[in-house]
Chains A and B, each alone.
Chain A
């Protein structure tokens, strides 16, 4: 189309191409749903008490002792989780990439499980284990750990268990990308362990660092775990101000500093990923194997311990708490409305997310270099916006008379919250898929006379089935477990499963909560297993 425009002597009116119209509409939707709440909140951050421009909130952040405490707690939660999750995950990733471990494919799958379990369910399991009436207290006869379970340390440990798979997957992928010749060049001068330390590790380090930053952002954004473990951070204070104290102004004010920290972290992620060294594998030889030697038994033992603590123990404890099958059936029956709601809304949400994300991802992958970097930055930054900030932003935008108000009063606002939070994730996944497809494959369709729409539907989409499936499953898992934004925007009388679990924890016998939590894990595992079956044979990268 561009070449056609060049041949027209004067600027005559031309109908915009289908491509421009559709991608433009996707961009407008993205800005309206995902970007606007954040921009609105950012604008509000510069409004003083009387509404005029001021740095009041920023001054408060640094001067008010309570806000300073919150900032400290939030920062400690973020950095602590990033550090611990990386310490657990990075060595595991290196082992998966380079060590000779038995049943490696199973280990990888099992080790990823904590990532797909919503963090507050892990938090719930840890309360059952270490709380004042928990398993440990009952076994030992006295309360040993509860002061420690309900603490910043407890929250850091719980979130690290939830997020270490990210560090693991990033490290493994990076270690597999390292060109084997670089390591062989090292082998010519020194022993394998030193090559791993001095050559491989520095090459993998940027990927490990960027995954640590992503974990930092996710921990900042977490609402459920600090809420359960009574650690005051910005996300939980936003919720308290809004839901308990009905002080919307204070909730907005508390959301602002969180937004600023998250935006800075998001920009840092982008910068770090952009600078990543090119270590693409060109050689066909397999990379340097990690010589375990006499440490083999101990290494396998450590992996098993991580697996037990992060997957086996929490799920077992939940199952024990849930009790007999009849109890689980009863719990499901009494919460059937919330469960049905959650499955329905998450299915709609994931489908809409993929529909929008595939256009955005395509646009990003095929944009000119400069624009591509900018769009990438926007995706990452929007994803970094914490859940409760998105919630407050959505309330600010949609809770007004007229059509927005009608949407706000219906469950549609929950789907909008899902979109606002998770479209960027889907777009990043699908942009990566599209980028792997050569442009020439579309150009040849164009030469053959296919219009853009036909080429997109018949040439592009059929080549990225794995990306589409992965994006849908990831979006479904994230939407199905979403708590921080939904808990704020859910209309009265409606509920989703996470919201119900979260509000029930305070005032219902724990067996029912445990049963619902188990049920939620089950719903997440099923699409994941389906994806596993679909992707068998082909290797998914996401």
Chain B
């Protein structure tokens, strides 16, 4: 890995006395799909939020592309200027907007002219296969459809980096497998760099090229999918899904 697209250098985050993220360093190459794996409370979600700029690091540096976005305990670039698409754990679909309406809002914020917006909304809805639900409110969608709507919202701005925070945690197993396959395919065809937070090893293996495991705020092991990982994940169900 000669040139990293996303780079974390000794990033630390504390809440009061508790160290949540402890000197985490991580390189992700452009176009790579990496899983951040670990039990709940290990600091993986906070790491993701630090990259997105939703939290401020206490120390360390974060680089996206050739831009330093956080350093010396400060965020240097606002979340909306980092070129990131974020899929939240609870999806966080805006209940007062339709699917198309929320996509339109994202594009309007990016100052995309009205005519082009319509075109791009149609495109991205086709990409995630929910064109039929353009006019629906989130409350009218099923779990899987909501998932796709959240993904569409994260993708429509044409992000360079896609961050996913356990977005599949509320789905049942079959639906999850299908969506994971599709997500992996999408990531490859779009060539977007992606970081996927999960506590499920099977999910991480099915999806990604590399698994980084975290524990108690630290990166424990960085390996490629298929390599044996440490003891806390080995006893979870594995080999259920083949690597694509």
Give residues 75-100 of B contacting A (CB, 8 Å). Answer: 78-80, 84-86, 88-90, 92-96
B106 within 8 A of A: yes
Q: Which residues from B are CB-within-8-Å of A185?
A: 86, 88, 92-94, 153
A189 within 8 A of B: yes
- A282 touching B80, Cβ below 8 Å: no
A181-B88, A194-B109 known; A188 vs B79 contact (CB < 8 Å) = yes
A182–B105 alpha-carbon span in the complex (Å) = 13
A279 within 8 A of B: yes
Q: Which of A198-206, A236-244, A339-347, A502-510 contacts B (4 or more CB under 8 A)?
A: A198-206
> Least Cβ distance of A323 to chain B in Å?
54
Q: Which residues from B are CB-within-8-Å of A188?
A: 52, 79-80, 84-86
Closest to B88 in A: A181
B217 within 8 A of A: no
A319 within 8 A of B: no
- B92 touching A179, Cβ below 8 Å: yes
Give residues 180-202 of A contacting B (CB, 8 Å). Answer: 181-182, 184-191, 194, 198-199, 202
- The total of interchain contacts (Cβ-Cβ below 8 angstroms) comes to 56
B110 within 8 A of A: yes
A278–B85 alpha-carbon span in the complex (Å) = 25
A60 within 8 A of B: no
A406–B185 alpha-carbon span in the complex (Å) = 84
- B109 touching A187, Cβ below 8 Å: no
A187-B80, A203-B95 known; A179 vs B90 contact (CB < 8 Å) = yes
Q: Which residues from A are CB-within-8-Å of B86?
A: 184-185, 188
Give residues 194-236 of A contacting B (CB, 8 Å). Answer: 194, 198-199, 202-203
A214–B139 alpha-carbon span in the complex (Å) = 28
A215–B137 alpha-carbon span in the complex (Å) = 31
Closest to A188 in B: B86
B157 within 8 A of A: yes
A187-B79, A188-B85, A188-B86 known; A182 vs B110 contact (CB < 8 Å) = no
B171 within 8 A of A: no
A539–B231 alpha-carbon span in the complex (Å) = 43
A278–B139 alpha-carbon span in the complex (Å) = 9
> Least Cβ distance of A503 to chain B in Å?
51
Q: Which residues from A are CB-within-8-Å of B78?
A: 191
A278–B80 alpha-carbon span in the complex (Å) = 26
A357–B38 alpha-carbon span in the complex (Å) = 50
- A184 touching B54, Cβ below 8 Å: yes
A184–B79 alpha-carbon span in the complex (Å) = 9
Q: Which residues from B are CB-within-8-Å of A194?
A: 109
Closest to A181 in B: B92
A188–B85 alpha-carbon span in the complex (Å) = 7
Most-contacted residue by chain A among B85, B96, B105 (CB, 10 A): B96
A198–B52 alpha-carbon span in the complex (Å) = 21
A54 within 8 A of B: no
- A184 touching B80, Cβ below 8 Å: no
- B109 touching A190, Cβ below 8 Å: yes
A283 within 8 A of B: yes
Interface residue from B88, B96, B139, B153 paired with A202 (Cβ < 8 Å): B96
Give residues 142-171 of B contacting A (CB, 8 Å). Answer: 153, 157
A181–B92 alpha-carbon span in the complex (Å) = 5
A179–B78 alpha-carbon span in the complex (Å) = 21
Closest to B55 in A: A285
Interface residue from A181, A198, A285 paired with B105 (Cβ < 8 Å): A198
Closest to B159 in A: A188
Closest to B81 in A: A191
A523 within 8 A of B: no
A187–B90 alpha-carbon span in the complex (Å) = 16
Q: Which residues from B are CB-within-8-Å of A530?
A: none
- B109 touching A184, Cβ below 8 Å: no
Interface residue from A191, A199, A283 paired with B80 (Cβ < 8 Å): A191
Q: Which residues from A are CB-within-8-Å of B84?
A: 188
A 152-182 to B, binary, CB cutoff 8 A, 1 in contact else 0: 0000000000000000000000000001011
A277 within 8 A of B: yes
A428–B92 alpha-carbon span in the complex (Å) = 31
- B96 touching A277, Cβ below 8 Å: yes
11 of the cross-chain contacts (CB-CB < 8 Å) are A179-B92, A182-B92, A185-B153, A187-B80, A188-B86, A189-B110, A194-B109, A203-B95, A203-B96, A277-B96, A279-B95
By a beta-carbon cutoff of 8 Å, the part of chain A in contact with chain B is 179, 181-182, 184-191, 194, 198-199, 202-203, 277-279, 282-283, 285
Given contacts A189-B80, A190-B80, could you give 4 more A-B pairs where the C-beta distance is less than 8 Å?
A181-B88, A182-B94, A199-B94, A279-B95
By a beta-carbon cutoff of 8 Å, the part of chain B in contact with chain A is 52-54, 78-80, 84-86, 88-90, 92-96, 105-106, 109-110, 139, 153, 157
